[in-house]
Chain A
Amino acid sequence: MKIHPRYYPAIIIAAYVIFLLIGILLGFGPKEGGEGHGRGAFLPCLCLTLEVPA
């Protein structure tokens, strides 16, 4: 489907904002104190989760 070029800037800005907000809603937001933050190692947690049923 063809799109009019006039919508192109709106499409890319909307894509950026929507995905940025998804990230923030998933908990990847700015944190007080600023730097070097974590919320549990993803890979080690995943390995542990996969090991539990075994």
Chain B
Amino acid sequence: MTATVRKKHFSLAKSRRLIQWLVVIGTFIIGLRHILPGEASRGGSFDSFCAFGGIETLLPYLFTGHTLKSTNLLNFSVLLGTLGVALVAGRAFCGWLCPLGAVQDFVTEWTRKLLGEKRHVRGRRSKIILPLRLPASLDRPLRYAKYLTLAVILVASLSMVFPPLREFCLVRAVFSLKMTSLLWFTLVVFLAGSILVERFWCKYFCPLGATLAIFNKISPVRLIMENNHCNNCGRCDIECSMDIADVPHHLDHPECVRCMECLNTCAREGSLELKIG
């Protein structure tokens, strides 16, 4: 069977970047609204726009009928939107719609540029030393930390007044424009981590990513490897921001954020395809 070179009429990478910029700008606007007086009277605080806030306040709401302070019922709708994306396309929220995911992608891109990479050539390993890939012995166990974070938050939420993650909330640290010393600390750790390791927060600690991971196994919109066109060139492995090894054989991996960079990078027509059902 012969494979042809993929014809590209449309750049998924460009549309993803555009959507990520819109999400980041939108989240900054919510942050701006947060510093204006009378925010709560205009229908919800900064926290009430957060999908993970819906998870943090879910158990308290089910047991007491009240959401935790600083969250409200809107959190459940935002969470439902996020779960809707996951039901249809797995962790596509992480790859396309999450403001923190977007910021991490931007930081990686800017770091490479600052360190002298003039133009990133798709599918070719960069000579720039950052971002690092952690050794497997450290990377593997750390990937489970996000599930632990999720479990601790769910249990803690039952005895809290505010959402358990609030004081260290990354979205507040990056976007809320109302900083505390703890949030400054969080921001510095987040930026340093993102400079050192690509999608550092997503890979190791994000409890929302942990929640969405399971959907990669069941979502109908998915990537598949078809025919025997793949020649194991490894271009997709190089581009995968989540450092999934042997991408073509792990297309429903729970770590995959459905960013479609692998599909975009693959040069052989018909190797990777997007499929529904």
Check A22–B80 contact: CB distance below 8 A: yes
CB distance from B164 to the nearest CB of A (A): 15
User: Among the listed stretches B39-47, B126-134, B177-185, which one makes contact with chain A, having 4 or more residues with CB under 8 Å of it?
Assistant: B39-47
A-facing residues in B160-191 (Cβ within 8 Å): none
Check B72–A1 contact: CB distance below 8 A: no
> Would you list 11 pairs from A and B whose C-beta atoms are within 8 A, ordered by A residue?
A12-B93, A16-B93, A19-B80, A20-B84, A23-B79, A28-B75, A31-B72, A35-B45, A39-B73, A41-B61, A43-B63
Check B274–A2 contact: CB distance below 8 A: yes
Check B274–A19 contact: CB distance below 8 A: no
Instruction: Judge whether A54 is part of the interface by a CB distance below 8 angstroms.
Output: no
Report the separation of the CA atoms of residues A23 and B72 in the bound assembly, to the nearest whole angstrom: 13
CB distance from B172 to the nearest CB of A (A): 15
Chain B, interface size category, equals 35 or more
Instruction: Judge whether B244 is part of the interface by a CB distance below 8 angstroms.
Output: no
CB distance from A22 to the nearest CB of B (A): 6
Check A18–B67 contact: CB distance below 8 A: no
When distances are taken between beta carbons in the complex, the residues of chain B under 8 Å from A27 are: 73
When distances are taken between beta carbons in the complex, the residues of chain B under 8 Å from A35 are: 40, 44-45, 48, 67, 69-72
Report the separation of the CA atoms of residues A39 and B64 in the bound assembly, to the nearest whole angstrom: 10
Report the separation of the CA atoms of residues A4 and B276 in the bound assembly, to the nearest whole angstrom: 10
When distances are taken between beta carbons in the complex, the residues of chain B under 8 Å from A9 are: 12, 15-16, 19, 96
When distances are taken between beta carbons in the complex, the residues of chain A under 8 Å from B41 are: 32-34
Residues of B within 8 A of A (CB): 9-10, 12, 15-16, 19, 39-41, 43-45, 48, 61-85, 87-89, 92-93, 96-97, 221, 260, 263-264, 273-277
Report the separation of the CA atoms of residues A42 and B57 in the bound assembly, to the nearest whole angstrom: 13
Report the separation of the CA atoms of residues A42 and B53 in the bound assembly, to the nearest whole angstrom: 18
When distances are taken between beta carbons in the complex, the residues of chain B under 8 Å from A48 are: none
Instruction: Judge whether A17 is part of the interface by a CB distance below 8 angstroms.
Output: yes
Known interface pairs A12-B97, A35-B67; 5 further A-B residue pairs with C-beta atoms within 8 A, sorted by A's residue number: A11-B89, A11-B221, A34-B41, A34-B44, A41-B61
Instruction: Judge whether A13 is part of the interface by a CB distance below 8 angstroms.
Output: yes
Report the separation of the CA atoms of residues A26 and B84 in the bound assembly, to the nearest whole angstrom: 15
Instruction: Judge whether A53 is part of the interface by a CB distance below 8 angstroms.
Output: no
Check A30–B84 contact: CB distance below 8 A: no
Report the separation of the CA atoms of residues A12 and B10 in the bound assembly, to the nearest whole angstrom: 17
With both beta carbons as reference points, the residue of chain A lying nearest to B49 in the complex is identified as: A30
Report the separation of the CA atoms of residues A32 and B48 in the bound assembly, to the nearest whole angstrom: 12
In the complex with contacts A9-B15, A41-B63, A15-B85 CB distance below 8 A: yes
